[in-house]
Amino acid sequence: GAVVSQHPSWVICKSGTSVKIECRSLDFQATTMFWYRQFPKQSLMLMATSNEGSKATYEQGVEKDKFLINHASLTLSTLTVTSAHPEDSSFYICSARPPGTRKSIGGYTFGSGTRLTVV
């Protein structure tokens, strides 16, 4: 089945540094990918919608300059957490939907997630 690959699976960084997270659709093209953040024991919060070849759409309250999203190709979207701080520590996860998936199946596939710890 369709696979969304996300890297790295975990990262520890120093406060003030930037971290890039990659989300790749391995066997399909994704014009749209979604980025979520999940705090421990909490729900998945949509951060932004990544659109290939255009600017990302951010949800209310998400800082565009802090969470830079680039969707330069049909198979790759990146999320860069700039000037990371301890409060940015979270589980970040992307998702995409392979085109042509039967409409009877939702078909959104999630990446394996990235656990970011800022120290």
* Measured CA angle at 80 (ends 40, 85), to 5 deg: 55
Cβ atoms within 10 Å of 49's Cβ, excluding its own? 16
**Binding letters toward other proteins, positions 13-52, x by CB under 8 A:** -----------------xxx-x-x----xxxxxx--x---
**Phi (first) and psi of residue 10, to 5 degrees:** -155, 150
**Which pair of structure tokens corresponds to residue 2?**
């369709």
Residue numbers 67-106 binding other proteins by CB under 8 A: 93, 95, 97, 99, 103, 105-106
* Measured CA angle at 21 (ends 69, 113), to 5 deg: 115
Give the residue with the Cβ less far from other proteins, 14 or 41.
Answer: 41
Give the residue with the Cβ less far from other proteins, 14 or 103.
Answer: 103
Q: Is 110 in the site for other proteins (CB under 8 A)?
A: yes
H or E segment at 46? Answer: strand 44-51
Which residues sit at the interface with other proteins, rule CB under 8 A?
30-32, 34, 36, 41-46, 49, 59-60, 93, 95, 97, 99, 103, 105-108, 110-113
